[in-house]
């Protein structure tokens, strides 16, 4: 019997999770994610939606079970609903999901559900309108709140993501958790990662560790560790009697690379083997050179796994070594 296809790297890690950035553009300008005067890549450099769909299909044929659509803001990419429909039809794909800032969800939530999406991550760092505006530079809190409501009304399970910055929103972690608990939503608190140069704040000074967040939350809630996983880097805690899980994504304080099961496709078609390293393969070149056959594409993906590095080496005491911003990487 032939073995079912699977992608494995040189450290024996199985790669079952693909994150696809469909655009580096965004309707917000979060201070930790991009510079105020960000330059986006020219439209002509982007993969077409057909090319993204083709690459997604090739990964699924190689054993990938989970695809997350992200960006930039994925729901600002023109005709993105069609991509969700195409990927949602892939039979051996276990989960199709997305990460979004929520602003477009009132328009998209039902379409996403119809395409087979069942869970969505929505980013929200503050429940105060002025703070929300400061952190996102251009955002309106109510639009993201409306997006959360629309997702829940459409039947989507919501997980919130909050990047915690010292002296910016660290005093809000309990309020954010309470907001999530009241709606049976999960929430993950994220340590800021040194991706790309920013001059708005000093990332080392803004560092607020997951352990500090946990200690703050424990003033109000009895958090018990679990071994649960949603297939991503979050470590989860539970509160007895509550449906929500409280997660921590802690690239600095709890390196998650040993269990890494994922790779990322940038909007320009670069397959990034690690969030915190530059190892990559140009899949746009491969799909364009081989428009009718997927054999070479599949082979390129299998070969790419050989250069997946052991892990990231984030260090807040030095200048970033990764010059890509998170919107260019696909968070």
When asked if residue 264 is in the footprint of ligand SF4 (CB under 6 A), the reply is no
Inter-CA distances, 254 with 44, 182, 214, 312, 318, Å: 39, 28, 13, 12, 19
Sole binder of ligand SF4 in the list 15, 34, 46, 160 (CB under 6 A) = 34
Stretch that binds ligand SAM, among 149-157, 169-177, 192-200, 312-320 (CB under 6 A): 192-200
x-or-dash string of contact with ligand SAM, 104-143, rule CB under 6 A: -------------------x--------------------
Q: Nearest CA to 251 among 329, 202, 315?
A: 315
Stretch that binds ligand SAM, among 94-102, 165-173, 264-272, 301-309 (CB under 6 A): 94-102
Q: Nearest CA to 86 among 120, 104, 60?
A: 60
When asked if residue 190 is in the footprint of ligand SAM (CB under 6 A), the reply is yes
Q: Nearest CA to 161 among 122, 131, 132?
A: 122
CA separation for the pair 256, 118 (Å, rounded): 25
Angle at 173 between CA 171 and CA 178, to 5 degrees: 125
CA separation for the pair 79, 328 (Å, rounded): 20
Q: Pick left, alpha or beta for residue 155 (phi over 0 → left; psi -120 to 50 → alpha; otherwise beta).
A: left
Which residue number, 101 or 210, has a Cβ lying nearer to ligand SF4? 101
Considering the complex, what minimum distance in angstroms separates the CB of residue 102 from ligand SAM? 8
Which residue number, 120 or 286, has a Cβ lying nearer to ligand SF4? 120
When asked if residue 328 is in the footprint of ligand SF4 (CB under 6 A), the reply is no
For residue 15, give both structure tokens: 């790669």
Strand order in the sheet with 262-265: 224-225, 235-238, 245-249, 186-191, 157-164, 119-123, 95-100, 66-70, 17-21, 262-265, 270-272, 280-282
Sole binder of ligand SF4 in the list 15, 20, 33, 124 (CB under 6 A) = 33
Considering the complex, what minimum distance in angstroms separates the CB of residue 330 from ligand SAM? 7
When asked if residue 330 is in the footprint of ligand SF4 (CB under 6 A), the reply is no
Residues 6+ apart with CB under 8 A from 142: 129
Stretch that binds ligand SAM, among 39-47, 78-86, 187-195, 254-262 (CB under 6 A): 187-195
x-or-dash string of contact with ligand SAM, 30-59, rule CB under 6 A: --xx--------------------------
| CA-only gyration radius of the chain, Å | 19
Sole binder of ligand SAM in the list 7, 53, 64, 73 (CB under 6 A) = 73
When asked if residue 147 is in the footprint of ligand SF4 (CB under 6 A), the reply is no
Considering the complex, what minimum distance in angstroms separates the CB of residue 26 from ligand SAM? 6
Q: Nearest CA to 231 among 261, 253, 258, 251?
A: 261
When asked if residue 195 is in the footprint of ligand SAM (CB under 6 A), the reply is yes
What is the CA 259 to chain-centroid distance, rounded? 16
Residues near ligand SAM (CB under 6 A):
26, 32-33, 70-71, 73, 99-101, 123, 161, 163, 190, 192-193, 195, 326-327, 331
Residues near ligand SF4 (CB under 6 A):
26, 28-30, 33-34, 71-73, 101, 123, 326-327
């Amino acid at each position: 019997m032939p073995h079912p296809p699977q992608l494995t790297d040189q450290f024996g890690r199985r790669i079952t999770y693909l994150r696809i950035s469909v655009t580096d553009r965004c309707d917000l300008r979060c201070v930790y994610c991009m510079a105020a005067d960000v330059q986006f890549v020219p439209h002509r450099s982007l993969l077409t939606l057909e090319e993204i769909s083709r690459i997604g299909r090739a990964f699924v044929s190689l054993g990938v079970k989970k695809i997350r659509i992200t960006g930039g803001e994925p729901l600002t990419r023109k005709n993105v609903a069609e991509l969700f429909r195409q990927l949602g039809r892939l039979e051996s794909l276990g989960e199709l999901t997305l990460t979004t800032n929520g602003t477009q969800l009132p328009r998209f939530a039902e379409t996403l559900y119809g395409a087979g999406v069942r869970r969505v991550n929505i980013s929200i760092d503050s429940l105060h309108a002025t703070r929300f505006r400061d952190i996102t530079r251009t955002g309106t809190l109510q639009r993201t709140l409306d997006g959360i409501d629309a997702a829940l009304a459409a039947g989507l399970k919501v997980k919130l993501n909050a990047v915690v910055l010292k002296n910016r929103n660290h005093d809000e972690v309990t309020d954010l958790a309470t907001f999530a608990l009241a709606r049976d939503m999960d929430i993950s608190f994220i340590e800021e990662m040194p991706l790309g140069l920013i001059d708005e704040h000093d990332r080392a000074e803004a560092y607020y560790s997951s352990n500090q967040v946990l200690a703050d939350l424990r003033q109000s809630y009895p958090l018990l560790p679990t071994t649960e996983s949603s297939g991503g880097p979050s470590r989860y805690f539970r509160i007895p009697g509550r449906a929500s899980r409280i997660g921590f994504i802690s690239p600095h304080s709890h390196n998650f690379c040993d269990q890494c099961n994922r790779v990322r496709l940038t909007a320009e078609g670069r397959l990034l083997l690690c969030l915190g390293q530059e190892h990559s393969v140009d899949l746009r070149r491969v799909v364009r050179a081989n428009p009718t056959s997927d054999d070479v594409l599949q082979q390129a993906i299998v070969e790419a796994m050989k250069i997946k590095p052991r892990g990231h080496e984030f260090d807040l005491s030095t200048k970033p070594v990764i010059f890509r911003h998170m919107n260019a990487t696909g968070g």
